[in-house]
Amino acid sequence: VTDTNQQMDREQRLRSWIEEYRTPLLKVCIMYLADVQQAEDAVQETFLKAWKSMDRFEGRNGCSEKTWLTSIAINVCRSYRRTRWFRYVDTQKALEKLPSRQASIPPEERDLFIDISRMPEKMKAVILLYYYQGMTQFEISAALGISRSAVAHRLGKALDMLKISLGEEERI
Amino acid sequence: MRTNDIKRVIDAGLANVETTQRDVDAIMEYIHESEYGKYPRRIVSARRIVLTVICVILMLATVAQAFGVSMWKMIVVWTRESLYINMMRDGDSDSGDIGEKSAFSEAEREAWGASVCDVFADYNFFPHLPEWKPENLELESLTHTDYGYGRINVYAYYAFENEYLMLTVKKLGEEGDHAGSELFLEGDGEEVQMFEIQGVNYYHTTNLDHNSFAWENNDIVFTLFTSYDVETVLSMLESIRQK
């Protein structure tokens, strides 16, 4: 009976994670992979990995659920991108198929959206994790397996590429 | 445009992306079936078929290895863009007996600090660490995770002014998924170099402004990311006492 209750608790917890985090994770994966079908697969894979290692999550010091799930998702995406089938994706064509309301947003914002989608993967990953998911540089460093200095460097370079300036009171 | 606009623009561009109850149920079903039954049918692409074949070969090799047939311990593959290391615990390392070490040397404790060494000691885990690292580096972050089944990860980040060093130590577990480890280091196009010091192979890549080193010793995977130059890191690696 105890095992059954524990199992139900775990399933309930997973369900609440999916309800809360599927949408932002899916957006990150879509931006990273520029492919809705693959992004949905990646998110599904993310939750499967989370389910399998849910017990281990408890041992992670000071790491939020959102940060942990995002780290898994970005690494699933990176894993997908490493296969050569993804290296020839026509990003522009892929973006046209996105379920977006791009036509209804101002041209300047649409350009920024497209520019982020088309950035090199290394830059795109840090932009998405830092500015979209709100992870710290140290969390990004651990998630991507790169140094914190490299994270800061990539953020700076990415902002240069996007030709946008820092928000008020912001320091990289 | 400013950085504050990034989140808003992405949300606006993907405003139609949402999660319905049906989406939640579909993922729950997928996970349930993958855990307790067969996977639900999905589109099988060429990529998946190739991956499946590779996985089957790796699984057969793993089973063979479990029965004492030595298939591999470590696979190292690199290109100009990346370094990939896949290793399996074999408990029979070429470079020493894992049970040999039961404490850190004074030099190791002095180099890495009591708080880091005590974390390792709490896990009864005593990896061979460099006995020297550049002076003045201060410990800024320390994270450790016990995944169970003997698998332990420790991350320590040191910095001083513009210099930094991040050491990660991963002890492979004793069985199943925990007994293997994959490491993927991104490079910046420079050739991956391999250095052999006291019988241990150290793999080196560069990535923008930092050097990355990875090595395995006694079923423990080490990575080191640092702003210091290669010569300095090699001096650190030469200070490791293997026995």
**CB-CB neighbors (< 8 A) of B182 in chain A:** none
Q: Indicate whether B172 pLDDT > 70.
A: yes
What gap in Å lies between CA B160 and CA B162, rounded to an integer?
A: 6
Q: Is B70 helix (H, G, I), strand (E, B) or coil?
A: coil
Nearest CA to A39 out of B160, B19, B217, B35 is that of B19
Mind listing the pLDDT tens digit for each residue in A90-118? 555 555 555 544 556 777 788 888 888 88
Mind listing the pLDDT tens digit for each residue in B68-83? 555 556 667 666 666 7
How many A/B residue pairs have CB atoms within 8 Å?
A: 164
Lowest mean pLDDT among A77-91, A123-137, B141-155, B178-192: A77-91
What gap in Å lies between CA B107 and CA B216, rounded to an integer?
A: 21
pLDDT value for B100: 65
Q: Indicate whether B14 pLDDT > 80.
A: yes
Is A101 close to B45, i.e. CB distance below 8 A?
no
Q: Which residue of B has its CA nearest to A155?
A: B3
pLDDT value for A166: 58
Is B27 close to A22, i.e. CB distance below 8 A?
yes
Is the Cβ–Cβ distance between B16 and A101 less than 8 Å? yes
Mind listing the pLDDT tens digit for each residue in A11-42? 888 999 999 999 999 999 988 888 788 889 99
Is B210 close to A132, i.e. CB distance below 8 A?
no
Model confidence band, residue B49 (pLDDT cutoffs 50, 70, 90): low
Q: Indicate whether B239 pLDDT > 70.
A: yes
How distant is the Cα of B194 from the closest Cα of chain A, in angstroms?
19
Whole-model pTM: value is 0.50
- pLDDT above 90 covers a percentage of chain A that reads 23
Mind listing the pLDDT tens digit for each residue in B80-116? 666 777 776 665 544 334 446 789 999 999 999 999 9
Show the CA angle centred on residue B224, arms to residues B221 and B228, nearest 5°.
160
| Burial (CB count within 10 angstroms: exposed 0-12, middle 13-18, buried 19+), residue A66 | middle
Q: Indicate whether A126 pLDDT > 60.
A: yes
Averaged confidence pLDDT in chain B: 78
Is B24 close to A22, i.e. CB distance below 8 A?
yes
Q: Is B166 helix (H, G, I), strand (E, B) or coil?
A: strand
Considering CB atoms only, which of A51, A99, A149 is closest to B31? A51
pLDDT value for A146: 86
What gap in Å lies between CA A125 and CA A155, rounded to an integer?
A: 9
How distant is the Cα of A85 from the closest Cα of chain B, in angstroms?
7
| Burial (CB count within 10 angstroms: exposed 0-12, middle 13-18, buried 19+), residue B175 | exposed
Is B227 close to A170, i.e. CB distance below 8 A?
no
Model confidence band, residue B208 (pLDDT cutoffs 50, 70, 90): low
Considering CB atoms only, which of A18, A131, A138 is closest to B3? A131
**CB-CB neighbors (< 8 A) of B46 in chain A:** 85
Model confidence band, residue B211 (pLDDT cutoffs 50, 70, 90): confident
Is A101 close to B15, i.e. CB distance below 8 A?
yes
Q: What is the mean pLDDT of residues B103-130?
A: 92
